Structure 1
Amino acid sequence: MKNVLLLSFGMFALGFDAYVIAGLIPGISETYHKNLSQVGQAVSIFTFFYAISAPIFSSLVVGQPIKKILIWSMLVFTVANSMTALAPTFSILLLSRAIAGIGAGLFSPLAVAASTKLVSSEKKGRALGLTIGGMSMGTVLGVPLGIYISEFYHWTSTIWLLVLIGLMAVICMYIFLPNFPTSPPPALSERLKMFLDKRVTVTVCITFFASMASLGLYTYLSPLLKEIAISNNLTPYLWAWGCGGMVGSLMIGYLIDFIKKPKALVTIILLMLTLSIICIPLMINLTTLKYVPFFVWGAMGWACQAPQQHILLSYQPSNGRSAVALNSSVNYLGSAIGASLGGIVLSLQLGTITLIYFAVISMLFSLCLQFYSMRNKFNVTEFSKI
Structure 2
Amino acid sequence: MKLVYLLGLGAFALGLDAYVTAGLLPVIADDFDASVSATGQMVTTFTLAYAIASPIFATLLSAQRQRLGLLSSLAVFTVANAASALVPTLPLLLITRALAGVGAGLYLALAASAAAALVSKERRGRGLAIIMGGMSSGTVIGVPVGVLVAQHFGWRATLWAVSVIGLVSFLGLALRLPALPAPDGAPTLRQRVTVLTDPRVASIVGVSFLAATASLGLYTYFAPVMADESMGGVENITPYLWAWGIGGVLGSILIGTLVDKVRRPYTLVVGIMALLVVALVAFRVTASIHPLVALLPIAVWGAVGWALQVPQQHDLLAARGDSGGTTAVALNESALYLGSAVGSGLGGLAFSLHWDSSLLPLLAAGAAALGLLLQVTGVRVSTARGAKQPAAETAVPAESAS
TM over 0.5: yes
**Distance change (3 Å), C-alpha of 1:310 and 1:282:** same
Counterpart of 2:220 in structure 1 is 219
Counterparts of 2:190 and 2:225, CA distance in 1: 39
The residue identity in structure 2 corresponding to 1:217 is L
**Distance change (3 Å), C-alpha of 1:178 and 1:314:** closer
**Distance change (3 Å), C-alpha of 1:61 and 1:33:** same
The alpha-carbon deviation at position 28 of structure 1 amounts to: 1.0
Give the number of equivalent residue pairs: 384
Counterparts of 2:216 and 2:188, CA distance in 1: 25
Counterparts of 2:169 and 2:175, CA distance in 1: 10
Counterpart of 1:49 in structure 2 is 49
Note the 1:43-192 alignment, pairs <5 A: 43-58=43-58, 61-62=61-62, 65-118=65-118, 124-182=124-182
Tell me, yes or no, if the aligned pair for 1:315 and 1:379 is still in contact at 8 Å: no
**Distance change (3 Å), C-alpha of 1:149 and 1:190:** farther
| Candidates 236, 245, 251, aligned match of 1:248 | 251
Counterpart of 1:203 in structure 2 is 204
Q: Deviations over 1:255-299 (max 9, x none)?
A: 335555443322221121111111223222536432111100011
The residue identity in structure 1 corresponding to 2:238 is T
The alpha-carbon deviation at position 99 of structure 1 amounts to: 0.2
Counterparts of 2:41 and 2:320, CA distance in 1: 35
The alpha-carbon deviation at position 380 of structure 1 amounts to: 7.2
Which structure 2 residue ranges, 5 or more long, are not aligned? 392-402
Q: Deviations over 1:310-349 (max 9, x none)?
A: 4445554586514333222211111111111111111111
The residue identity in structure 2 corresponding to 1:129 is A
Counterparts of 1:222 and 1:338, CA distance in 2: 15
The residue identity in structure 1 corresponding to 2:302 is G
Tell me, yes or no, if the aligned pair for 2:61 and 2:69 is still in contact at 8 Å: yes
Partner SS state of residue 354, structure 2 = coil
**Distance change (3 Å), C-alpha of 1:158 and 1:253:** same
| Candidates 286, 291, 303, aligned match of 2:307 | 303
Counterpart of 1:346 in structure 2 is 351
Note the 1:231-246 alignment, pairs <5 A: 231-246=234-249
The alpha-carbon deviation at position 351 of structure 1 amounts to: 2.7
> Percent identity of the aligned residues?
43
Between 102-111 and 12-21, the greater mean CA deviation after superposition: 102-111
Counterpart of 2:394 in structure 1 is none
TM-score by length of structure 2 reads: 0.85
Query: Which runs of 4 or more aligned residues in structure 1 lie more than 6 Å from their structure 2 counterparts after TM superposition?
Result: 185-189
Between 97-106 and 168-177, the greater mean CA deviation after superposition: 168-177
Counterparts of 1:357 and 1:47, CA distance in 2: 23
Which structure 1 residue ranges, 5 or more long, are not aligned? none
**Distance change (3 Å), C-alpha of 1:90 and 1:191:** farther
Q: Deviations over 1:58-88 (max 9, x none)?
A: 3664276444333322221111111211111
Counterparts of 2:188 and 2:238, CA distance in 1: 39
The residue identity in structure 2 corresponding to 1:20 is V
Counterparts of 1:180 and 1:156, CA distance in 2: 35
Counterparts of 1:267 and 1:356, CA distance in 2: 20
Alpha-carbon RMSD: 3.0
The residue identity in structure 2 corresponding to 1:56 is I
